[in-house]
Chains A and B, each alone.
Chain A
């Protein structure tokens, strides 16, 4: 009982983190922005590198990296590295321990193999220096870091190193972008519901990845592709949305697809997609263009979860099926959700990542 207490307190503290919040039945919490928090506005232009840094006046924000990897022997792996920022009140923290904490940070890291899913979690308050995102670009919580290694004249996210360490795993990866940043929705203004809830959302989907995974059985050299999502908001979701299914797909053609469906309590999906051409040209599709159909399910952490999906985007001639590398890719963290690498087959072949929240 007592062991679950910190989790319980944090589930409240970080109630504004959307993916998990939805999953935990806090759907309503993020629906209306507190009067004190800033709200995303359509038409506001994103500016880099400044927007790589935190936006403390918004309630929630994340730096979310997933990578589909393989070893020399062909074994496939997946890696996740996430830093969440959740504001108790808007504004930056005063350095030190002044006693009015505004920002709470949470880190999730995971390695997925065909037969294991290893993950860990970190929490920190703002101000003391235990976690944060600063210039020159570094996002960190404890010893988990995402640090820019790009030359001064390039975008800081063009080249990064990524480290994390749990009780049973660790990784140390180098990532280099082979394409530009991609803005979703209307130049980065991504609508999440018919009622107009929205976030700022951009990605760097063009990472080549190489590095080392440390697993209980030893070190493994891996290579593959990575995808970074950046998103911040104060009122991302509407009250009747139960959870979401989010896909990042990299096809052998060099094209990519970001697509998500927000499951509504009446059973429908509010979908949104961005088709990314090999050169980085993006095409945004609004609600209804993308079709998501759940397929085979699996028993995961006591829940029934659709681990196979049919993903269709007729406008781009896309009709594929996704299958998980490991159906048991459950993040049993403070907020629990499914997050793992998938293989794509059908009209297009390739690899990607799937996140599913809100399955009770």
Chain B
């Protein structure tokens, strides 16, 4: 019996291959995008964990001093019983990429990643603690630094990418530092210690939550997750409509099977099993697809995270069985969700009720009212959150409420719009088109909501990225005002650059900096010349009067926006840049793409405090038309390597390339989401096309040609898509505003002005029309191919 029943149930799918394909496609797509995003997130989290584990830095207090901690201070603290461990941290360039050097003392360090690579090998420990020392690096880092002139490396898979863990002494040599960056304070200390301040004058600081890497990048991952969830939901729309239709079409079979003695319970079990098998098959396909998507996107994500947060994430994907299991689980759960309604109906189906066609997707006026009510509530919530919400979670909750509210508002608004448009209709066909469109809205609403979400996300993210790009480009123009940037390998070459530059160029302005802890975070202070290069161009956001005079005189410093906002500074507040040297902050400048705090002050003032820092970098002003020639001459006369002189335009091009790379993922996800929304529209239309015939046949009988009807179907779908697009504009702009004014400030510390990009909107309208048009093309073509007998069957007696 079970076998026979199963054959009867499954035969449906043999006859409706398209429906089966739709169901499997929807499930696979939903799984793919969701699990793809999860894979990316998991990979990034693994990288953060490695970064955090590389030093217990996220939990332990630190002792710092403006000019660094001395070895004597460390020993004095230890000899007083304090359990502290020294760290020297900094960056060098190796093999063309920046390498973070983390110098530790393995004998006193807190639990520490990477050192497993040393365990059990006495010789290696000896090497680690000796000259030339050992660098413990992740495999990808080892490949990156290649054969750079560095101590030998040893692979330690748990070290964060882009970081080398090494001995304190090795780090000190590589970074050319005398002092320690800071001391880590063990969380448990012995009984009865003397106060810290009696032993050494150091600042004790608990790690600032907001500077925590994973906290910072949470917004990005929330973003990705939101995209993934959106796609998953859209995929489920597809699945739900396919399951719904299949069950509807099999009502007669169900009834017959039950009449023949199959128990309801067994029928339910069979149907559930059938769905579960489909979910598993589609889930596996989706996982494969998701893995592919993740592998394709991951390098871009790594680029984004590096560009925005300075976080190193491995660019390669590891396969994780737990991920696969979770992916299949979510597919099964999603299928259960999508199929629940259909199964419920089967369960409640009376055995002997007449088979009557039912517009299963039709929503009543009451549903519409409920949707409108829900939409208003959600949109109000969103508005309230904008005004009173604080922090990233509130910002994202606000975005969620906005999107969901807009989606719920879509059907009532579309119906309203079509009603308002009624007087515009000319002739019976126009009237019918509007009226019919109105009636189709509930049936298509899920697909249209998906389209709305995809379009809004596109408008919002597009506006944000575009605003960012516009601001960034303008900022680059200001920031890279000099025509040439020169880096000399040593002091002698630097002197040659100055000499040659004085002759060849309008001005040669040194650029030099010292690494200093600024308000507790490692940053740098630049000594700048009093030059129009800065006065006329620098991207100042906010400043006290005579800012440049005060900076030049060394009586004031300007700081980047990250430092300013990150520490809730006000203009005029003191900033300590060396032991016993504090100056007021007199201005703030924008400094996009730099995760670290930065300050600038007159070169003379800085060199009085740090006399020994070499000045090897210069900005060279010259006539832009002659820049190339001056560059060539400088290279020759100062005997500089090719890369020693860089043209401003090259730097800009490089920066923009980095920028584009940064937002590649966002763009790709945008396109994917829009694509899935298009598929949702397509499957909804395909599902509906069978139900459409009774609505279209009378028109045909009254003398309308199938081709005309098909054209009208396309027009109607496009009309709905266009209306959806129109609604997506305000939603998308609101989204962009929240992203720029709320999320950005929380996540990056930068506030960006919002720019509008109408051309982008037109493009999106095109994309929406294209997606909808392509989606309805097939159903429309099928309509033109229908034989009259198929249409006439609608009117046949025995229905």
Contacts and interface: CB of A to CB of B under 8 A. Distances in A.
Direct contact between the two chains A and B in their complex (CB within 8 A): yes
Interface of A: 2-3, 5-6, 8-13, 15-16, 29, 88-89, 96-101, 104, 120, 123-125, 128-130, 140, 142-143, 165-170, 214
A9 B115 contact: yes
B75 A128 contact: yes
Nearest to B81: A143
Interface stretch (B118-126, B267-275, B356-364, B375-383): B118-126
Contacts of A3: 111
Give the interface centre of B75, B80, B188 by most chain A CB atoms within 10 Å.
B75
A97 B169 contact: yes
Give the interface centre of B120, B133, B158, B172 by most chain A CB atoms within 10 Å.
B120
B120 A99 contact: no
Interface string B156-172: 00100000000111101
A190 B731 CA distance: 87
Nearest to A96: B71
Contacts of B129: 13, 88, 100-101, 104, 125
Interface in B102-156: 105-113, 115-116, 118-122, 124-126, 129-131, 133
Interface stretch (B189-197, B485-493, B555-563): B189-197
Nearest to A131: B78
A99 B168 CA distance: 8
Interface string B68-102: 00011011001111000000000000000000000
A165 B191 CA distance: 7
A165 B173 CA distance: 34
A15 B125 CA distance: 10
Interface residues of B, number: 44
Closest 7 CB pairs of A and B: A99-B169, A8-B119, A143-B81, A123-B107, A101-B129, A13-B125, A88-B126
Contacts of A123: 107-108
A16 B125 CA distance: 12
A166 B111 contact: no
Contact of A8 (B75, B116, B167): B116
A167 B188 contact: yes
B170 A99 contact: yes
Nearest to B113: A2
Contacts of B74: 128, 130
Contacts of B80: 143
A96 B119 CA distance: 26
28 contacts: A3-B111, A6-B111, A9-B125, A12-B124, A12-B125, A13-B107, A16-B122, A88-B129, A88-B130, A89-B126, A99-B172, A100-B129, A100-B131, A104-B107, A125-B129, A128-B71, A129-B72, A129-B79, A130-B75, A130-B79, A130-B108, A142-B81, A165-B81, A165-B190, A165-B191, A168-B191, A170-B190, A170-B192
A26 B346 CA distance: 71
B175 to A, nearest CB: 13
Contacts of A98: 131, 169
A120 B130 CA distance: 27
Contacts of B71: 96-97, 128
Contacts of B658: none
Contacts of B188: 167
Contacts of B112: 2, 5-6
Nearest to A163: B81
A5 B79 contact: no
Contact of B172 (A11, A97, A165, A214): A97
A196 B169 CA distance: 39
Contacts of A10: 106-107
A12 B190 CA distance: 26
Given A12-B125, A88-B126, A99-B173, 5 more contacts: A11-B120, A96-B71, A99-B170, A142-B79, A170-B192
Given A88-B125, A167-B191, A5 B115 contact: yes
A6 B122 contact: no
B106 A6 contact: yes
Contacts of A166: 190-191
Give the interface centre of B108, B131, B172 by most chain A CB atoms within 10 Å.
B108
Contacts of A100: 129-131, 169
A3 B53 CA distance: 10
B120 A101 contact: no
Contacts of B192: 165, 170, 214
B131 A6 contact: no
Given A6-B109, A128-B75, A165-B81, A214 B131 contact: no
A219 B633 CA distance: 79
B191 A214 contact: yes
Contacts of A2: 53, 111-113, 158
A101 B106 CA distance: 12
B131 A5 contact: no
Given A104-B107, A123-B108, A165-B191, A5 B119 contact: yes
B169 A142 contact: no
A120 B191 CA distance: 12
Given A9-B125, A100-B130, A125 B79 contact: no
Give the interface centre of A9, A10, A11, A99 by most chain B CB atoms within 10 Å.
A9
A355 B75 CA distance: 32
Nearest to A144: B81
Contacts of A5: 111-113, 115-116, 119
Contact of B108 (A124, A129, A165): A124
B189 A167 contact: yes
A12 B107 contact: no
B190 A9 contact: no
A124 to B, nearest CB: 6
B78 A124 contact: yes
B107 A124 contact: yes
Give the interface centre of A5, A12, A88, A101 by most chain B CB atoms within 10 Å.
A5
Nearest to B169: A99
B658 to A, nearest CB: 34
Give the interface centre of A15, A120, A143, A169 by most chain B CB atoms within 10 Å.
A143
Contacts of B72: 129
Contact of B130 (A11, A101, A128): A101
Contact of A169 (B131, B189, B191): B191
Give the interface centre of A15, A124, A129, A142 by most chain B CB atoms within 10 Å.
A142
A186 to B, nearest CB: 31
A99 B133 contact: yes
B655 to A, nearest CB: 38
Interface in B175-228: 188-192
A9 B169 contact: no
Contact of A9 (B78, B106, B170, B172): B106
Contacts of A8: 115-116, 119-120
A143 B84 CA distance: 13
B276 to A, nearest CB: 37
Contact of A99 (B111, B121, B122, B131): B131
A134 to B, nearest CB: 13
B138 to A, nearest CB: 15
A170 B191 CA distance: 7
B120 A12 contact: yes
Given A6-B111, A98-B169, A15 B122 contact: yes
A98 B131 CA distance: 9
B666 to A, nearest CB: 34
A33 to B, nearest CB: 14
A120 B116 CA distance: 22
B78 A142 contact: yes
A29 B122 CA distance: 10
Given A99-B170, A101-B169, A11 B133 contact: no
A5 B173 CA distance: 25
A340 to B, nearest CB: 21
A146 to B, nearest CB: 14
A206 B115 CA distance: 43
A2 B75 CA distance: 26
B79 A140 contact: yes
A170 B53 CA distance: 31
Contacts of B81: 142-143, 165
